[in-house]
Amino acid sequence: MLRDYEILFIVRPDLDEEQVGAAVKSVETLIANLGGEHQKTDVWGRRRLAYEVSHLREGQYVLTDFRLDPARVPELEATLRISETVFRHLVVRKPEKASAKANGSAAGGSRPAAAAPAPENPAPAAAEEQPAASVAGPAEQPAAFAAGTGEEEDEV
């Protein structure tokens, strides 16, 4: 089962446009070799890093959306870890809500509407139960205290 992911990777700043394009192409090829589907790539360009990484202060940022089997993600990350052109990367699984909405609206839209109220009902019920338990907790505490100590028994 293929899942939606996005990867943000940072390419070395000393590479020219052709080399950055080659690095992007190699990541897309890697995704395809792992059985994934490349969806889109956005090259954000050169940006300043928040902190120095491997004596670099800038990098060329690239965001790629793709679909891949979850079991193959560690292999993708291991390959990128040893890459000389990509010095930082982050793979993030996209939320299922976006996929479910896209599938539900294509099927008629009734399915997501039915699924939405069900999670909302248990959440308020759980919120209502917590204050009741916290209010009942201190009220019951003196009775438990009285039964558990000898001080209360002496006073009675």
Structural domains of the chain ordered from first start: 3-95 (3.30.70.60)
Helix and strand numbers (H, E) in the chain are 7, 4
What sign does the dihedral 99-102-107-108 (CA atoms) show?
Answer: positive
Percent of all residues in the chain with a pLDDT value above 70, rounded to a whole number: 62
pLDDT at 28 over 80: yes
Could you report the per-residue pLDDT of 42-95, keeping only the tens digit for each?
999 999 999 999 899 999 999 999 999 999 999 999 999 999 999 999 999 999
- Full-model pTM: 0.61
By DSSP bridging, strand 86-93 and strand 3-11 are: antiparallel
Residue 83 is predicted with a pLDDT of: 92
Residue 152 is predicted with a pLDDT of: 47
**Virtual torsion, Cα 103, 105, 106, 111, nearest 10 deg:** 70
Residue 145 is predicted with a pLDDT of: 46
User: What value does the mean pLDDT of the chain take?
Assistant: 77
Start-to-end C-alpha separation, the chain: 69
Which segments within the chain are labelled E, that is strand? 3-11, 37-53, 56-68, 86-93
- Do residues 41 and 114 touch, judged by C-beta distance below 8 A? no
